[in-house]
């Protein structure tokens, strides 16, 4: 079995996603870029029951190279993110409660906190609605991600975050969920204050640096 260490990492982050309250049951999915393409969690298996051998290896066109299980139904979203952003090595698709409420309402989350500007980018936009598992949804997510963000809300569905590794993608998922809750609290207090443009420009530079810096 190829990529034993990487398969174990995908399994571990699937468990972490559930442990951190970012999803439940069999919802969501996790993937990691490898030389041949992508390792991704299987469909419809609870995370505590997923073994390294269940992880599916596929190329960036979606051809299964190794694996007996069906890949996650949202594998097209993952592949679209990897094709659009060559530096991305980890993708986490989660269903956190508050961020998913923003997705259901189709309300983008602005980068109103310093940490969001640095790690999530310019804005957490909402990808246009399409049915799960479709090419249209994958294209919508990649378009909403653009070059200046590491997180996308999927309309009426959930959240996708990307990173230079799975740790970074998971960190952004947690930041977006906490940011979404903070935003709602700030709205109750009259709304978040504006961040100076000079600070926003610095955040853009830091975000771009972490996107492109070498290993």
Is the separation of the CB atoms in 124 and 176 below 8 Å?
A: yes
Residue positions annotated with a catalytic role: 74
Residue 211 has pLDDT above 80, yes or no: no
How confident is the model at residue 185, as a pLDDT? 98
Domains of the chain: 4-212 (3.40.225.10)
pLDDT of residue 213: 67
Distance of alpha carbon 12 from alpha carbon 179, whole angstroms: 24
Report the DSSP beta bridge partners of residue 38.
Answer: 33, 58
Q: Is the model's pLDDT at 4 over the cut of 90?
A: yes
CB 165 within 8 A of CB 31: no
pLDDT tens, position by position, 48-98: 999 999 999 999 999 999 999 999 999 999 999 999 999 999 999 999 999
Instruction: Give the DSSP letter string of 59-112.
Output: -TTS-EEE-SSPBPTTHHHHHHHHHH-TT--EEEEE--HHHHHHHHHT--EE--
Residue 12, pLDDT > 90, answer: yes
DSSP 8-class letter at 191? -
Give yes or no for residue 209 having a pLDDT over 90. no
* Residues of the chain above pLDDT 90, percent: 95
pLDDT category, 186, cuts 50, 70, 90? very high
Choice among 99-108, 181-190, 204-213 with the minimum mean pLDDT: 204-213
Average pLDDT over residues 189-206: 95
Q: What is the pLDDT of residue 215?
A: 54
The model scores a pTM over 0.85 = yes
pLDDT band per the 50, 70, 90 thresholds, residue 1: confident
What the block records as the tokens of 131 is 């049915």
pLDDT at 140 over 70: yes
Read off the pLDDT band of 46 (50, 70, 90).
very high
């Amino acid at each position: 079995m190829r990529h034993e260490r990487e398969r174990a990492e995908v399994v571990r982050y699937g468990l972490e996603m559930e442990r951190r309250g970012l999803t439940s049951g069999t919802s969501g999915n996790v993937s990691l870029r490898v030389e041949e393409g992508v390792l991704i969690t299987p469909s419809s298996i609870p995370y505590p029951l997923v073994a390294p051998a269940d992880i599916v290896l596929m190329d960036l066109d979606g051809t299964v190279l190794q694996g007996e299980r069906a890949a996650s139904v949202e594998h097209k979203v993952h592949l679209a993110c990897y094709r659009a952003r060559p530096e991305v090595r980890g993708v986490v698709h989660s269903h956190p409660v508050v961020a998913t409420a923003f997705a259901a309402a189709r309300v983008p989350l602005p980068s109103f906190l310093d940490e969001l500007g640095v790690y999530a980018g310019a804005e957490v936009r909402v990808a246009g609605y399409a049915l799960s598992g479709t090419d249209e949804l994958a294209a919508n997510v990649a378009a909403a991600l653009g070059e200046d963000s590491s997180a996308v809300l999927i309309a009426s569905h959930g959240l996708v975050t990307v990173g230079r590794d799975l740790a970074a993608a998971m960190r952004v998922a947690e930041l977006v969920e906490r940011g979404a809750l903070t935003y709602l609290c700030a709205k109750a207090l009259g709304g978040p204050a504006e961040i100076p443009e000079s600070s926003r420009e610095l955040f853009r530079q830091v975000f771009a640096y972490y996107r492109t810096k070498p290993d």
